[in-house]
Copies of this chain bind each other. A is one copy, B any other.
Amino acid sequence: MAEITSTTQRLREICRTAARVFYEKGYDGASMQDIATAVGLTKAGLYHHVGSKDRLLFEIMNYGMDILDETVLEKTRDIEDPRAKLRQTIIGHIDLIVRARDLEITVILHENRSLKGALRKKINARKKAYIEMLEQLIAEVQKQGTREPLISPRIAAFALLGMINWLYQWYDSEGPIRQDQLAQVYLDFFFRGLLGGA
């Protein structure tokens, strides 16, 4: 168990550094030698850890989804009330996107065209599961509301993901808008848009 943990830790370190190299040079522009150098391994050592460049890209994205699970899902697992659970999900997801530490991984996760075949399917299945969880939560919140829902849970889930995931394009955590203010405004806006009223 301890060994598995240290292997996972090592793989995560490699993913973090490789994500930075891919982010800077592009997936096609970065060679395995570039990444090995950045990680402090020989090329053979890097291949030993990650198998192939495709596999490395997959591991980065998979790590991104692990971080999503850890930052968002684990913190909401014990919340029963759908509205409180959705609130906390939104706060957690915003937190994940705006923190600078994981910027490269987040970006690579969004721009997943370079991944092909079965590995791509695996990542897309994890993304799909997250979206379906959001949809279901939104549907439960709508059911508790007093008005007839005007927006389908599916469109609402994607609108929400767009609002949040797009933050990496513009939000500066050192700028004038504090993260807790941003989260509050997004919550107000989303719930009002979803349910009507304040």
Chain A 70-112, CB-CB to B under 8 Å as 1, else 0, gives 0000000000000000000000000000000000000000110
Q: How far is the CA of A71 from the CA of B141 in the complex (A)?
A: 36
Closest to A111 in B: B111
Copies of this protein in the complex: 2
In the complex, what residues of B have CB within 8 A of residue A113's CB?
Answer: 23
- 5 A/B residue pairs, CB under 8 Å, sorted by A: A110-B169, A151-B185, A162-B167, A162-B169, A197-B197
Residues of A within 8 A of B (CB): 23, 25-30, 110-111, 113-114, 150-152, 155-156, 158-159, 161-167, 169-171, 177, 182, 185-186, 188-190, 192-194, 196-198
